Amino acid sequence: MSLELVSSARSFGGWHKRYRHRSATLGCDMVFAVYLPPQVDATQSLPVLYWLSGLTCTDENFMQKAGAHRYAAQLGLVIVAPDTSPRGADVPDDLDGVWDFGHGAGFYLDAVQQPWARHYRMHDYVVNELPALIEMNFPVSARRGISGHSMGGHGALVCALRNSGRYRSVSAFAPIANPMNCPWGEKAFGRYLGADRASWREWDACELLAGATERVPILVDQGGADDFLEEQLKPMNLQAAAERAGHPLKLRLQPGYDHSYYFIASFIEDHLRHHIQALKD
């Protein structure tokens, strides 16, 4: 569980740091980023928001583009951003070199099909191994929130819905809300999980809402000009599933916004305030 510091930069009175470690869960080296706000010097129990990025991203996209450091510094919120998948020479990638599967596209699930099952266990990594590492090495509490964008929004919703009591808050930007019924999800689920679509339900937020045992309020922002809105993201399916389950969901359709980090930066303050409200003592 030892950490190797990769880089460190001062930001809004706090520190943005990147670390490398050997992951037993994923069987490879992983890099994650952590933002430590100024309050880290005065307390030993800061809450933590885990941010899950989308297809083709790494830990760097959110930390550099979202503008989250300013608000995290004000709120006293630690942010942890893992990579989006296992990587390395020993980790299998898509043989056809497609951008939406393999490296950068772990889909935050635990694969059962070969050759993916050995390394592609991002759900276990995000929910268990990474928080244990963070809580062992940084002055943080077990008050956890989770958020993400696109594929990472799917991951945030699924991590929260599958792990009752693990997270106090959850939100998402433009999540892949119903992955078992969209091209991105069907490709990933078919290869990572196999042909039995019944097993896919364990990794689909719309399906998981029906059996959720806690009612942690969900905040979702979706850009109205998002090119992926109708075919891939399907937020209205999520809204319908939440209504059927009686689960609190605030879905905000934002006219004119696309799928980019301009969209995320425009509303990240709202999301961080949503999380800190639930994560305060």
259 catalytic? Reply is yes
Among residues 16, 119, 123, 259, the one annotated as catalytic is 259
Which of 23, 85, 147, 150 is an active site residue? 150
Q: How far apart are CA 40 and CA 209, in angstroms?
A: 35
Look at phi and psi of residue 43 and say left if phi exceeds 0, alpha if psi is from -120 to 50, else beta. beta
Note whether 84 and 104 are within 8 A (CB). Answer: yes
List, in order, residues 6 or more apart from 1 with CB less than 8 Å away.
Answer: 21, 132, 133, 136, 137
Instruction: For residue 131, give every residue at least 6 positions away whose Cβ sits within 8 Å of its Cβ, in sequence order, or none.
Output: 48, 50, 144
Q: Report how far residue 169's alpha carbon sits from residue 224's, in angstroms, rounded to the nearest whole number.
A: 24
Q: Pick the catalytic residue: 53, 226, 247, 271?
A: 226
What DSSP state is assigned to residue 80? E
Task: Check the CA dihedral 113-188-218-60 and report its sign.
Answer: positive
Q: Quick one: angle between helices 68-75 and 261-279, nearest 10?
A: 10
Residue type, 31: V
> What CA–CA distance (Å, rounded) separates 100 from 12?
34
Greatest alpha-carbon span in the chain: 52
226 is catalytic: yes
Catalytic residue positions, numbered: 150, 226, 259
